[in-house]
Chains A and B, each alone.
Chain A
Amino acid sequence: MSAVRLEGAVVLLGRFPALAGADLSVDPGEVVLVRGPNGAGKSTLLHLCAGLLPLSEGRGEVLGCDLGADRAAVRRRVGLLGHDTALYGELSPAENLDLWARASRVDAAVVPGALGRLGVPERLWAVPSTRLSAGQRRRVALAAIVVRRPELWLLDEPHAGLDGDGRELVSDLMSEAASAGAAVVLASHETGPADDLATRTVTMAGGTVGADAV
């Protein structure tokens, strides 16, 4: 069973077709790099796969769940790192992750391990997230994905804003996830660490997915 299968997927943002008939198939254990210029539809593709956007036309299945019929079931099983961190600024990293774990029905005892895994110093665990640097907030957002251990990782520019260590850490995480059988789809418009990591690269332009580049 494919982790992601899109056939002629169309997503409208208002009247604008941000995805205009995208086809994509991703198997478990794969790391697929989605490349493309700004506005190509990469983020929309990830949000569709996360069950956050409705499918206007075409067919879509994520982790065996129909995107047209049960997006809520999809959302429970994926991890998404977007351009924003989806953290509550007044809550500390530990409080944010604790909330996320409880809301997701995951044992909150894994939170310290996840923060440690992402290299967030312990002295920052109780500091309001707004006071953290952009890079640290990004690490905390990634730690939230580690807490859930999703079957599908959807990462939008995951290396952006991270220092060298952070970039390496993200690459390690993706490799580990894929080795454990999860599928990873990452979007990036720049060349860099993502290239070495990807088992396959596809290119997007004008809301469609082109032929595999690798």
Chain B
Amino acid sequence: MGLMWRDLRLLAGDIGLIAAKDLRIEWRARTTLGQVLPFALLVLVLFGFALNANRPTLELATPGLLWMTVLFATVVAVQRSVAVESIDGAGRMLLLSGMAPAAAFGGKALAVAVQLLAVVAVLLPGVVLLYGAEIESLPLAVVASLAATAGLAAAGSLLGAVVAGVRAHQTVLPILLLPVVAPVLIAATRAFEDALGKAAVNGWSWVGLLAGFTVVNVALGAVAYGPLMEEA
């Protein structure tokens, strides 16, 4: 029992180490701040143009548009997360360190999740301002955002490792990722329809689906990340 707790503490420490590393790199490279956030805001504005600034339509479509935008941001964030390990062979350091691959996966997924949460934190006020949305259940919106970003980050990091060794990984990633995370888009949209009072659905049951998706992808990532790292 004592050994298990020690292993878990080490695993948690390594996850924190890798997440802190990735976030520090992102903070210095300004990718999230300088590229992902402006890109996401731009998509929100363009959706508004595409729907001809029609307030009722925009209000109805707000949850879906919000999570479509987060999905696009996920692709950019995961691509960056993959690139960080491939530049100058940096990822070899993780392999040679002997760190548990599950910890490397967890750390990278956690860093992507934090970035996506920052995107949601900016987009949410954005849809309130641009689309006139009103948040009726903040707890549901917050929990759904946490579960959805965790699911996106886990699936994204796993598929990022799958395509890391592929020469055209930047174009292959969206083709693989978008269909896989379609359940997140659907569930997060439904949960937000409830949180924003747009539809009479039980948002919490959709949060359950998001949590299930996250658990499955975290488990898959913890098991598959090691062999995938070696392949890359």
Binding site for B on A (CB under 8 A): 50, 52, 54, 71-72, 75-76, 78-80, 82-91, 95-96, 99-100, 102-105, 128, 144
Count of chain B residues with a beta carbon within 8 Å of a chain A beta carbon: 23
Does any Cβ of A come within 8 Å of B2's Cβ?
no
- A75 adjacent to B24 (CB under 8 Å): no
Does any Cβ of A come within 8 Å of B14's Cβ?
yes
Binding site for A on B (CB under 8 A): 14, 17, 21, 24-25, 28-29, 84, 87-99, 226, 230
- A52 adjacent to B25 (CB under 8 Å): no
Secondary structure at the B interface, as helix, strand, loop or mixed, is helix
Residues of A within 8 A of B17 (CB): 99, 102-103
The 5 A-B residue pairs whose C-beta atoms are closest, nearest first, are A76-B98, A84-B89, A103-B97, A90-B28, A90-B25
Assembled-state Cα–Cα distance A128/B95 (Å): 22
Contacts A87-B88, A105-B98 aside, 19 further interface pairs with beta carbons under 8 A come to A52-B92, A52-B230, A72-B98, A75-B96, A75-B97, A76-B96, A76-B98, A84-B88, A85-B89, A86-B90, A87-B90, A87-B93, A88-B25, A88-B90, A96-B93, A99-B21, A103-B14, A103-B93, A103-B94
- B21 adjacent to A50 (CB under 8 Å): no
- A86 adjacent to B21 (CB under 8 Å): no
11 A-B residue pairings within 8 Å (CB atoms): A75-B96, A80-B92, A86-B96, A87-B93, A88-B21, A91-B21, A91-B25, A100-B93, A104-B96, A104-B97, A105-B98
- Nearest chain B CB to A124 CB, angstrom units: 16
The residue of chain B having its C-beta at the shortest distance from the C-beta of A105 within the complex is B98
Residues of B within 8 A of A128 (CB): 28
The residue of chain A having its C-beta at the shortest distance from the C-beta of B28 within the complex is A90
Assembled-state Cα–Cα distance A212/B119 (Å): 60
- B21 adjacent to A85 (CB under 8 Å): no
- Nearest chain B CB to A85 CB, angstrom units: 6
- B24 adjacent to A90 (CB under 8 Å): yes
Assembled-state Cα–Cα distance A95/B21 (Å): 9
Of B29, B89, B99, which is within 8 A of A103 by CB? B99
Assembled-state Cα–Cα distance A14/B97 (Å): 26
Assembled-state Cα–Cα distance A96/B88 (Å): 13
Assembled-state Cα–Cα distance A103/B94 (Å): 7
The residue of chain A having its C-beta at the shortest distance from the C-beta of B91 within the complex is A86
- A89 adjacent to B88 (CB under 8 Å): yes
Residues of B within 8 A of A80 (CB): 92, 96
Residues of B within 8 A of A71 (CB): 230
Residues of A within 8 A of B89 (CB): 82-86
- A82 adjacent to B97 (CB under 8 Å): no
Residues of B within 8 A of A91 (CB): 21, 24-25
Most buried by B among A80, A83, A88: A88
- Nearest chain A CB to B83 CB, angstrom units: 11
